[in-house]
Amino acid sequence: MRTLQIVNVRWYNATAWYGVTLARTLNAAGHRSRVVGLAETEPLRQARRMGMECEELPLNDMAPHRLPALVRGMEDLLRRFRPDVVNCHRGESFVLWALLKRRFGFALVRTRGDQRLPRSNVPNLWLHRKAADAVVSTNSRMSRHFLTRLGVPEERLFTVLGGVDTARFHASSVSRTTARASFGFEPCDFVLGIVGRMDEVKGIRESIRALAAARKSWPAGGRLRLLVIGFDSQYSVNDVNTWSEEAGLGPLDSPGAAVVVSGRVAQPEHAINALDMGVIASLGSETIARAALEIMACGVPLVGSAVGVMPDILPQELLFAPGDVSEMSRLMLRAGNAAWLDAVRKTCHERIFCGAVPPVPGIRPSGGLTLENFRDQTLAVYASALKRAGLTEGESL
């Protein structure tokens, strides 16, 4: 199958990761996917580093006097590549692909990985109910919105959460030993971990406050510590240091510091293996939970805030309200119970490899969360879209 993955995002965020990873996974299975994006942007740089074919189009520039040139560029690409499916991961230019669909004979798919709920206005109703042959949501909250507010027919609505590369992200005793030594962790340390850029939405400040509360009741003979696997963004290491001191945990450079910041790491899978339990503390977003899947695939138990896709990944008892420091602290303390921790680890393993969260027809998908599951679920969406468009694979003009 030949697909165009339209990833017109300027930075390599979760939406871009989803589209680029999907293209790479399809290509690895013998299909041909090309990534289409904006010139000189990180998604295309990442795709090219992976050896993928890319196309540059100014898809976000809808200025009337430049629109004819953009459409000609899109038409030229469609003639040269002859896709069976065009999958738009952003809304900009979606209407143009919709207008070109019938003439060039491809199925059109809209994948929504944005946290913002689309408005139920006339253009959106037409695009999602009529123009798109399939609509993919990356979490059940968005799927419910499409069903109830936009009236997308259930038969053309799909929920595909993404997938994790388990060949790269897996439990490794060697990585665990090496990483823990590099960060200065001792055998008696129980290490909690957060993965992600240091932005307000990631809940790092709240996690530090929860850590401070949990340490007061942690069993004697051990130390509860926090590893932030992240890098400067909205906030810096200096900000994290301030939060640690304000919580009474001392500075980051103190011996055996309660909070450790990794900085940017080339191989996050090694750092993740240093953890005893992961925490997704996000205050919002997480419509695509890349970090959560990577943590779980490494055999690390995970708890998280009930935002975005997290209720689709973890059962209710492992979730807490966004910003609820007290409940986060309670779950941190529960990790001191070995039997409870093993049960959480098993739950996370089953979710990745077996799809243990019960599916809800039209809302929550069945199956696991590996790259292979991601590929197969998406190919099923594409097959449905082609059928709805009255096309068969290889029929593009």
- Predicted pLDDT of residue 257: 96
Work out the average pLDDT over 60-78: 96
- Predicted pLDDT of residue 385: 97
Q: pLDDT tier at 114 (50, 70, 90 boundaries)?
A: confident
Percent of the chain with pLDDT over 90: 89
The SS3 call for residue 133 is coil
User: Hey, how many other C-beta atoms are within 10 angstroms of the C-beta on 151?
Assistant: 11
Lowest average pLDDT, out of 44-48, 279-283, 367-371, goes to 367-371
Domain locations along the chain: 2-163+370-388, 173-353
- Predicted pLDDT of residue 164: 97
DSSP 36: E
What is the CATH T-level fold of the domain 173-353, as seen in this structure?
Answer: Rossmann fold (3.40.50)
The SS3 call for residue 350 is helix
pLDDT tens, residue by residue, 140-165: 999 999 999 999 999 999 999 999 99
CA-CA distance, 26 to 375, in Å (whole number)? 6
Residue 289 has φ and ψ, to the nearest 5°, of -100, 70
Mean residue pLDDT of the chain comes to: 94
Q: Extract the tokens encoding 241.
A: 């240091």
- Predicted pLDDT of residue 355: 73
Domains 2-163+370-388 and 173-353 share a fold: yes
Q: Extract the tokens encoding 81.
A: 């590549």
Q: Is the pLDDT of residue 395 over 70?
A: no
Work out the average pLDDT over 342-366: 78
CA-derived radius of gyration, the chain: 22
- Predicted pLDDT of residue 354: 86
Q: Extract the tokens encoding 298.
A: 């490494």
pLDDT tens, residue by residue, 360-375: 555 656 678 999 999 9
Q: Is the pLDDT of residue 42 over 80?
A: yes
- Predicted pLDDT of residue 362: 58
Work out the average pLDDT over 263-275: 96
User: Hey, how many other C-beta atoms are within 10 angstroms of the C-beta on 9?
Assistant: 25
- Predicted pLDDT of residue 356: 59
Cβ-count burial of 275 within 10 angstroms (0-12 exposed, 13-18 middle, 19+ buried)? buried
pLDDT tens, residue by residue, 197-220: 999 999 999 999 999 999 999 987
Q: pLDDT tier at 386 (50, 70, 90 boundaries)?
A: very high
CA distances from 163 to 197, 272, 322 (A): 20, 17, 24
- Predicted pLDDT of residue 117: 87
Q: Tell me the helices (H) and strands (E) count for the chain, helix number first.
A: 15, 13
Helix ranges restricted to H, the chain: 14-28, 42-49, 67-81, 94-104, 122-126, 140-148, 173-182, 204-215, 237-246, 268-272, 290-297, 310-313, 325-334, 338-353, 371-388
- Predicted pLDDT of residue 367: 74
Q: Is the pLDDT of residue 27 over 70?
A: yes
- Predicted pLDDT of residue 396: 61
Q: Is the pLDDT of residue 125 over 70?
A: yes
Residues forming beta bridges with residue 85, ordered by sequence position: 3, 107
User: Which CATH number is 2-163+370-388 given?
Assistant: 3.40.50.2000
Q: Extract the tokens encoding 357.
A: 């969260």
Q: Is the pLDDT of residue 60 over 90?
A: yes
CA-CA distance, 356 to 347, in Å (whole number)? 8
Q: pLDDT tier at 128 (50, 70, 90 boundaries)?
A: very high
